[in-house]
Structure 1
Amino acid sequence: MKRVENKVALVTGGASGIGLSAATLLAKEGAKVVIADFNIEGAKEVAATLVKEGYEASAVFLDAGDAQSIEDAIEFTVAQYGTITVLFNNVGLTNLQKDLDVVNIDLDEWDRLVNVNLKSVLLGSRFAIPHMQKAGGGSIINTASMGAFASDQIRTAYGTTKAGVVHLTKYIATQYGKDKIRCNAIAPGLILTPAAKNNLPQDLLDIFTKYNALPYNGEADDIGYAVVYLASDESKFMTGQTLQIEGGHYMANPTIADTNIWAANLQK
């Protein structure tokens, strides 16, 4: 089944993790895919693998902190495949050493995360929308985060910028819906990408699992399949929404995980 056949998709941050999953699944479902990444060699490797498997894919360098680079990636996509009808704004940064509480946060890091996590979504959409208007419509998909919906002791800039992505998604959907351009976001929970597996200790991963409604954390394809859905015409009546794909982490009273342990101890 070719759920996104004849669509042209640009996936930012497509060389690894969630972006890699989305690019791969979009290609397998029939889209022509451009993988954009700062790691251009990684992006070329992904594209070459997809082409070898019989799919249509290309790679382009992307510095999500640079407006010209973002515009160049959009124009490369249009030059390569004639249009752009799907944009997955997926690049995002965090820094646990500098993105601290309000008093101690590195202000240069604040500016960097606002630029990369939020402004890049604005710019990618800004440059893609005119092409989507010419094409008669399109789908913009933005990566937010579970951090957009609850605060933390650190990562002030990350959570704030991701909350901005959620609201920017609504603005884009409102302003360009009559052009048949849809805009939705996905807010992942903890996703076991290679970066997460390699950098987060098991005891921290277990804390997330403890507070999920489901007894496990997410995989990259859990987000990738949602991207395919939002890119496809299956979601043609959906816009301005944020899908929270986080294992039910915020669904219940936060005491549930601990009271379950308490109740289990009573039965011993």
Structure 2
Amino acid sequence: MDRVKNKVALVTGGASGIGLSAATLLAKEGAKVVIADFNLEGAKEAADALVKEGFEASAIFLDAGDASSIEGAVNFTVEQYGTLTVLFNNVGLTNLKKDLDVVNIDLDEWDRLVNVNLKSILLGSRFAIPYMQKAGGGSIINTASMAAFASDQIRTAYGATKAGVVNMTKNIATQYGKDHIRCNAVAPGLILTPAAKNNMPEEMLAIYSKFNALPYHGEADDIGHAVVFLASDESKFMTGQTLQIEGGHYLANPTIADTNNWLATL
């Protein structure tokens, strides 16, 4: 308890999945939390549930593709709680039907993902940093992805935007570190959020299991706990880093699993 006591956190995309986990854990560790999401009803339900448990939380609508909406969420947070010291830029989109290979990708989808996945992090930080400077410091945490570090048959825009998040994290850390503002990122692998559970068939989950170093999949709280650490003073000498939280999926030579299976037949 109290790992982030007296901190004020804005969590974007906080109505479900990783964002909900982070918002919940931050509140339970003492932060005042604003949950911002396109799904306003979901954000309100999450905030109300925390308030009923005795924690401090509020909700606001957020369209991460609209600069004025992002600025409004930041300003709302300060109006509610007097300051802003933690920003979790968590909103991200992917579209397996339109975000294809380089030749076939829908260019409008490219623009949409750049706007939401990357520009929203720029804008959230842009609007939050002056308040953090006034507060004497803060922590910005961005959601990247292991797609930033590995190529794919599709999801060209998703991978490119998440790689941009990793680099932007370093730039923010460099530019505002002297103001006691830290910036780090989390790069999840496959996390069994409700969306993943509802959309990934067992066959796909089995493929991921085959290549994981650990014998299980990640849960939203695995990322949420990392966010609390990065928001807290426990990580006060850490900035510009991206925590890869992916169950060891990307550790080994990609032939290892198949080689082991082959050796077992000899």
TM-score (norm 1): 0.99
| Structure 1 spans left out of the alignment, 5+ residues | none
1:117-266 correspondence runs (5 A): 117-266=117-266
1:187-211 Cα offsets, whole Å, 9 max, x none, are 0000000100000101001111111
Supply the distance in 2 between the matched residues of 1:29 and 1:74 (Cα, whole angstroms): 21
The SS at the match of 2:35 is strand
Q: Provide the residue aligned with 1:101 in structure 2.
A: 101
Cα-to-partner distance string for 1:43-78 (whole Å, 9 max, x where unaligned): 000000000000000000000000000000000000
Partner amino acid for 2:143? T
**Structure 2 residue identity aligned to 1:159:** G
Q: What residue is the counterpart of 1:37 in the other structure? A: 37
Aligned to 2:51: 51
In the aligned structure 2, how far is the partner of 1:225 from the partner of 1:265?
A: 41
Identity %: 85
User: In 2, distance between residues paired with 1:257 and 1:231?
Assistant: 36
2:62 equivalent to 1:86: no
Match of 1:12 in 2: 12
C-alpha distance after superposition, 1:175-232 (max 9, x if no partner): 0000000000000000000100000101001111111111111000000000000000
Letter of the 1:230 partner, please give it: L
Could you say which residue in structure 2 is the equivalent of 1:73?
73
Q: CA deviation at 1:144?
A: 0.2
Task: Output the CA distance in 2 between the equivalents of 1:199 and 1:264.
Answer: 33
Runs of 4+ residues deviating >6 angstroms: none
1:5-46 deviation line (CA, Å, top 9, x unaligned): 000000000000000000000000000000000000000000
Give the match for residue 111 of structure 1. 111
Cα distance in 2 between the residues matched to 1:139 and 1:208: 32
The DSSP-based 3-state class of the residue aligned with 2:234 is helix
The structural deviation recorded for 1:165 is 0.1
CA distance in 1, matches of 2:240, 2:107: 31
Partner of 2:28: 28
Amino acid aligned to 1:115: N
In 2: Cα distance, 1:263 partner to 1:223 partner: 35
3-state SS, counterpart of residue 130 of structure 2: helix
Secondary structure, in 3 states, of the residue corresponding to 1:254? coil
**TM-score, normalising length: structure 2:** 0.99
The 1-side partners of 2:182 and 2:257 are apart by 37
For 2:104 and 2:248, locate their aligned partners in 1 and report how far apart those are by CA, in whole Å.
31
Aligned residues: 266
Q: CA deviation at 1:265?
A: 2.3
Secondary structure of 2:51 counterpart = helix
CA distances 1:147-192 after superposition (whole Å, capped 9, x unpaired): 0001100000000000000000000000000000000000000000
Please give the alpha-carbon distance, in whole angstroms, between the structure 1 residues aligned to 2:55 and 2:260: 48
Measured after TM superposition, the shift of residue 262 of structure 1 is: 1.4
Instruction: Write the letter of the residue equivalent to 1:73.
Output: A
Q: Structure 2 unaligned runs (5+)?
A: none
